């Protein structure tokens, strides 16, 4: 027997894999259905499902059915190769989101602006926002408001592109820069100039580019390897009137969040593996990536 299993040859890993494969259809399943599909005892299936729910790889619905959790849905919805810079592994993304939730809550309360977390997904940016009147400590990733915006039209998207390698920006431009409003940047040259300025200031703006009569600013978040992990965006109908205090609060919050994210991950530089911790200002990614 393997892994203390009553089923000869079935390890714990094989059982977990069998359960996760049930959710490849994207649907919801009952305990009985999962046990039948995996040919596992109901008690074993329930125990493993409980562990997967605790890890948030699965979710249990109010009617006691199970479905894929937020990290798995992010993986399934992303068709990019895992070695693409704009692809964030699900557990990595979940860690960034978890760290960002209280920051979003504090920024929204302090500045009275809408605060969103942005993560690059190909030529789009996935934005995540706390529901109105939500308490950050009690909101999980799957409970966030989600939207997908063309990266070139969003402040958070431009903050992410500015610190991405040249090939990521080239791919976005090659995919086209469709006009969302009459103010959207559709010229590759203008976009590249904007990104160059963002690299110097670490502040991206979007004024009427995605939605008319709406302004937004964004600041990047870096991990310990000098890679841009995400961006936080503040927006409202007339952010330009209070740009300076809002930008100051956003900068302080994102630098603090960068330090928190950096402590979570290990990075390899050349042949030497080491744990990177940030003790001051976020690292300058221009040292690692050629400007676009």
The dihedral through the CA atoms of 218, 224, 226, 227 has a sign that is negative
| Whether residues 62 and 81 fall in one domain | no
In angstroms, rounded to a whole number, what is the distance separating the alpha carbons of residues 97 and 225?
18
Whether residue 50 is contained in a domain is answered as yes
Tell me the CATH number at 184: 3.30.450.40
Model pTM greater than 0.75? Answer: no
| pLDDT score for 264 | 74
Same domain assignment for residues 47 and 157: no
Say how far apart CA 165 and CA 285 lie, in whole Å.
9
Shared domain check, 121 and 24: no
> Based on the structure, what is the number of domains in the chain?
2
Do residues 162 and 252 share a domain? yes
The stretch 164-172 carries a mean pLDDT of 92
pLDDT (0 to 100) of residue 267: 42
* Residue 258: predicted pLDDT: 92
CATH number at residue 34: 1.10.10.10
Q: Is residue 4 part of a domain?
A: no
- Alpha-carbon 149 to chain mean position: 13
Q: Where are the beta strands (DSSP E) in 122-275?
A: 124-129, 145-150, 204-207, 215-222, 228-236, 266-269, 272-275
The per-residue pLDDT for range 54-90, each reduced to its tens digit, is 877 888 888 889 988 766 666 555 443 434 444 455 5
Report, as an integer, the average pLDDT of 208-232: 90
Q: Quick check: is 1 in a domain?
A: no
The range of the structural domain enclosing residue 23 comes to 12-68
Candidate from 23-32, 39-48, 90-99, 247-256 with smallest mean pLDDT = 90-99
Percentage, residues of the chain above pLDDT 70 = 74
Residues 191 and 214 placed together within one structural domain of the fold: yes
| Most confident option among 236-240, 242-246, 252-256 | 252-256
* pLDDT tens column, 173-212: 999 999 999 999 999 999 999 999 999 999 999 999 999 9
Question: Same domain, yes or no, for 98 and 57?
Answer: no
Are 231 and 136 members of one domain?
Answer: yes
Instruction: Kindly report the backbone phi and psi dihedral angles of residue 126, in degrees, each rounded to the nearest multiple of 5, phi listed first.
Output: -85, 120
Residues 142 and 37 in one domain: no
Indicate whether 35 and 118 sit together in one domain.
Answer: no
Q: Has residue 36 been placed in a domain? A: yes
Which residue did the predictor score with more confidence, 12 or 196?
A: 196
- Are 63 and 82 part of one and the same domain? no
């Amino acid at each position: 027997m393997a892994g203390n299993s009553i089923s000869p040859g079935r390890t714990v890993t094989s059982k977990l894999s069998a359960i996760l494969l049930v959710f490849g259809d994207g649907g919801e399943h009952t305990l009985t259905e999962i046990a039948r599909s995996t040919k596992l005892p109901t008690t074993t299936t329930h125990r493993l499902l409980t562990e997967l729910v605790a890890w948030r790889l699965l979710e249990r619905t109010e009617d006691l059915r199970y479905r894929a959790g937020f990290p798995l849905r992010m993986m399934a919805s992303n068709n990019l190769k895992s070695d693409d810079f704009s692809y964030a592994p699900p557990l990595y993304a979940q860690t960034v989101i978890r760290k960002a939730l209280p920051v979003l809550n504090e920024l929204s309360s302090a500045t009275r602006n809408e605060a969103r977390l942005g993560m690059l997904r190909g030529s789009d940016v996935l934005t995540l926002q706390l529901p109105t009147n939500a308490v950050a400590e009690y909101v999980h990733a799957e409970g966030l408001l989600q939207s997908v915006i063309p990266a070139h039209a969003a402040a958070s998207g431009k903050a992410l592109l500015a610190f991405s390698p040249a090939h990521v920006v080239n791919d976005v431009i090659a995919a086209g820069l469709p006009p969302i409003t009459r103010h959207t940047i559709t010229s590759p040259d203008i976009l590249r100039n904007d990104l160059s300025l963002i690299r110097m200031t670490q502040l991206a703006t979007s004024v009427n580019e995605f939605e008319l009569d709406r302004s937004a600013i964004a600041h990047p978040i870096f991990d310990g390897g000098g890679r841009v992990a995400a961006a936080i965006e503040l927006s409202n109908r007339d952010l330009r009137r209070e740009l300076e205090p809002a930008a100051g609060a956003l900068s302080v919050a994102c630098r603090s969040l960068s330090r928190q994210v950096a402590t979570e991950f290990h990075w390899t530089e050349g042949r030497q593996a080491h744990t990177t911790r940030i003790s001051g200002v976020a690292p300058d990614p221009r040292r690692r990536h050629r400007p676009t």
